[in-house]
Amino acid sequence: MNKVINPKRDSWSDLLKRPTQSVEDIEQTVEQIFSEVKTKGDLALKKYTNFFDGIKIDELEVSETEISAAVLKVSEDLQEAIKLAKNNIELFHSAQSTGKIVKETIEGVSCWQEKKPINKVGLYIPGGSAPLFSTVLMLAVPAKVAGCKEIILCTPPDKEGNVNPAILYTAQLCGVTKIFKVGGIQAIAGLTFGTETIPKVYKIFGPGNQFVTVAKQLATKYEVAIDMPAGPSELLVYADETAIPSFVASDLLSQAEHGADSQVILVSPSETIIAIVEKELTQQLAELPRKEIATKAIENSKLILVEDITNAIELINEYGPEHFIICSDNEQYFIENIENAGSVFIGNYTPESAGDYASGTNHTLPTNGFAKSYSGVNLDSFLKSMTFQKITKQGIQKIGNAIELMAEAEGLQAHKNAVSLRLKEIENELR
């Protein structure tokens, strides 16, 4: 990892850059695939699945027979672990429901807000070297709690043309409607336009690599919403002398092993902690099965020595990490002052892995600095807020004149007339 000592504020912008390609580098490829999927449908999906995943697929949709066979391949222990995680995620997301909000703003004017589910949602589940069945939980559970009618899942097949059994088990457990063996840019395009097989959805959810992230952003040009730009994983840990270095190193590596384009950062006021963590990283990295991937991510990562907690929190807010771990005897300061982070983990015994799997919070979070303006996936992500109002004769009399004056000031005479006619009718009735 690159070590940086007391960086000056004017260097933060370069220091905190993510190891990602620019949108311009990727957009041409994405647009080409989108164009082909839009015009050729399933044929294009199969073509690019063969090109990117190295497998020819005849049937894109996963059959009930495949799902039943997959369930038998998932051990009872893993099934129980997934059920425990599902229960916690369900409890936490169900608690986020706010229900109907009603307010009489002035006598005779009733306004209320109700939340309605987004009826057709698309879930993208990364496959590749790490099939993330945990992401099925994070997306399908709140979708089901919200009441989404159609939950469409896309995930890349393996080299034999199959979907990981744990993904299929979790999908059927969580009530996913349809599952398709399609990944990458072509999956996002399929969900965006719809094909002979894949339904067009109203909103797309899920993390992915840089190409998937840009594809999701492009999807918004075609009347499809997305949860957020969620790209390569990242983690920032603040650790002072009260931190346990081996824990810190394990957390950093837990995100580094996601992909070569992941990034992890340690911020600390202690040279001793940085030195010990660096040593621990080397020792633990040597034992990892995904050592090669984690090593590349570590090359993009940093150990930053700061002067004090004030500098630390300002730098952390400037970075806006996807995941932020606080290991400090002054944790309350960071809790109160953190402004930009996807999800926060507090204390030596709160690993980021808990949020990835089973504590109950959602692991689909904004990356690449988007934590400054986006929330992570939550129950509201799968709902639309609709407002209603009902105005009585008394109510329109109370606010009518104000509406007339404002409409006239904006030069919108028809707006004014819509009120004036009603007021005149009421006046006539009262004569």
Apex CA 40: angle with CA 213 and CA 229, to 5°?
Answer: 10
Catalytic residue among 257, 322, 352, 363: 322
Q: Can you tell me whether residue 321 is helix, strand or coil?
A: coil
Measured CA to CA, the distance from residue 322 to residue 265 in angstroms comes to 11
Judge whether 93 is annotated as a binding position: no
Measured CA to CA, the distance from residue 87 to residue 237 in angstroms comes to 28
Judge whether 363 is annotated as a binding position: no
Measured CA to CA, the distance from residue 283 to residue 276 in angstroms comes to 11
| Start-end of H helices in 41-182 | 42-53, 64-73, 76-94, 133-146, 165-173
Judge whether 59 is annotated as a binding position: no
Buried b (16+ CB within 10 A) or exposed e, 2-18: eeeeebeeeeeeebbeb
End-to-end CA distance of the chain: 84
Judge whether 209 is annotated as a binding position: yes
Q: How far is CA 217 from CA 26, 186, 224, 225, 297, in A?
A: 12, 14, 9, 9, 24
Judge whether 255 is annotated as a binding position: yes
* Secondary structure letter of residue 198 according to DSSP: S
Catalytic site residue 322? yes
Judge whether 79 is annotated as a binding position: no
Catalytic residue among 93, 323, 352, 363: 323
Judge whether 258 is annotated as a binding position: yes
Judge whether 356 is annotated as a binding position: yes
Residue labelled with tokens 């559970």: 141
Catalytic site residue 323? yes
Which residues, other chains included, contact 422 with Cβ-Cβ below 8 Å and sequence gap of 6+?
Answer: 396, 400
Output the six-digit token pair for 166: 């744990």
The residues pairing with 113 across neighbouring beta strands, listed in sequence order, are 101, 387
Q: For residues 360 and 89, is the Cβ–Cβ distance under 8 A?
A: yes
Annotated binding site for Zn(2+): 255, 258, 356, 415
Annotated binding site: 124, 186, 209, 233, 255, 258, 323, 356, 410, 415
Annotated binding site for substrate: 233, 255, 258, 323, 356, 410, 415
Q: Which residues carry out catalysis?
A: 322-323
Annotated binding site for NAD(+): 124, 186, 209
